[in-house]
Amino acid sequence: MPTILYYSREGHGEVEIEKKIDCPVCKGDYKNCRLERCPYLKDVRELLSKIVKTKTIYGSSPPSALVGSHGYPRVSLGPLVPPFIDDTSLIEKHEEWLDIPLEKILSMRLSLVYGRTHVKVYEAKSPDRLIQNIQEVAMACKPVNLEMILHKEPKINPNFSVRTTPSGPIANLEKISIAENPVTFKVVEDVVDDVDLKAGEAILKLYSSGVPDYNIVRLLSVGLLGTKAWRKIVPTEWSITAVDDVLGRRFREHVKKNEWVTEYAVYSYKAHYNKVAILMMPGPWGFEVIEAWRKFNQIKVYTDSELPRESDRYPENVGGAYHAIRFPILEKLYRDRKQALVFVVAEVDEGWIPLGVWRFREICRRALRYAPRKFSTLNEALDEISMIVDTPIKILAQNSRIIKFHKLQEKITQFIER
């Protein structure tokens, strides 16, 4: 089980406490979210009430597909389709979501009907016609008009997940009819047809060709990447982390060969009740995320890190957000041909609900677009971070392995210079 630390900021100093911090939407139990009481579903209630009265959904998939993890290796698989024809591409474009209201993101996502079928993950190697149609939709780079025939009227059961974006009503899928030829990237067709190309290499080839990461996630998830013998359907939440990790590792190989940064640089950005502060310090590659959840004047802290020369291990505390944050930072260092020790504070404030790890990836990318504040000492940089985030620096420093490593490195350097 991950280590979770709770702190209260009331009074003088920090006092460790043990109290559950609830989600503002459903009091901590996302499975109990209900349409009639969720404050974020007001704009989609009328639309959803019409959906549940029909077994036929005709609309424009963004395109989008979802693979659940429950019951693995037998999982649910299917397209996500809103009950209308339009340019629905924004429903999948994470990079544009920071600039639109949180309520609109929810409205878009919860309008998607999930028509699911239950399959074994290895059916990707010899898919039936229904799976082939789902895969054809997943390959598209523009919205696809299609008709879904469902076994029963869909049930409204908003699905909130820490890693993935939510979807709306759910029903078992009987048939899909694609009303047009999907538009695809040529490189996607080439990679899907190449049954001798390993999944990791396929991800790198797609990314280097300009295919958005969420498109790559979709292809991996529906079983279209990898060698023929190893292709399988992968739960969407696992695919998200896999793509972030594969791309991050490749950039890291190059970053470790670069020269160190020479100053302390602080980048920051906030959006949708989430806030990120990134500190790059002189030193060999090392990385740490402290994720702080704030609720009712209390702070819940998770942390994971990788110090120089440490073996890779799964970030069991921060989870998929760790890789989502690491990837754009390594992407930036690769472009700049630099290497750094990196310390990240990712805060989640009241008002946020689970919409997936995309927000940390995109907030980091946005932060790194702007010129950083630069400092000559660690203390100056930490003072800057204290003005950006609400988590006390004392708590951050106590829980940071990277800060402790860097201070030790400074002492060793000073001793050698003497």
Of 178, 199, 221, the one marking the end of a domain is 178
Beta bridge partners of 170: 114, 155
Sign (positive/negative) of CA torsion 173, 178, 179, 182?
positive
- Residue 66 sits in which domain range? 35-178
Residues 269 and 145 in one domain: no
Residues 174 and 273 in one domain: no
Closest CA to 290 of 364, 395, 405, 408: 395
Q: Quote the pLDDT of residue 326.
A: 98
Of 178, 203, 224, the one marking the end of a domain is 178
Is the residue at 67 inside a domain?
A: yes
Is the residue at 49 inside a domain?
A: yes
Closest CA to 9 of 391, 399, 276, 349: 391
How many structural domains are present in the chain?
2
Calpha distance 155→52 (Å, rounded): 6
The predicted model scores a pTM of: 0.88
Calpha distance 329→350 (Å, rounded): 26
Residue 409 per-residue DSSP state = H
Grouping H, G, I as helix, E, B as strand and the rest as coil, residue 124 is helix
Residues 260 and 364 in one domain: yes
Q: Measured between alpha carbons, how far is residue 222 from residues 63, 166, 198, 305 in Å? A: 13, 18, 15, 31
Of 178, 206, 223, the one marking the end of a domain is 178
Residues 170 and 265 in one domain: no
Contact criterion met (CB below 8 Å) for 91 and 84: no
Q: Quote the pLDDT of residue 310.
A: 92
Is the residue at 248 inside a domain?
A: no
Is the residue at 104 inside a domain?
A: yes
Tell me, letter by letter, the H, E, C secondary structure of 369-389. HCCCEEECCHHHHHHHHHHHC
Sign (positive/negative) of CA torsion 89, 91, 95, 98?
positive
Sheet holding 264-271, edge to edge: 15-16, 5-8, 298-306, 286-295, 341-348, 274-281, 264-271, 373-375
Q: Measured between alpha carbons, how far is residue 235 from residues 4, 30, 112, 120, 207 in Å? A: 26, 19, 18, 11, 20
Residues 83 and 174 in one domain: yes
Is the residue at 300 inside a domain?
A: yes
Task: Extract the residue ranges of the chain whose pLDDT is less than 50.
Answer: 1-23, 28-30
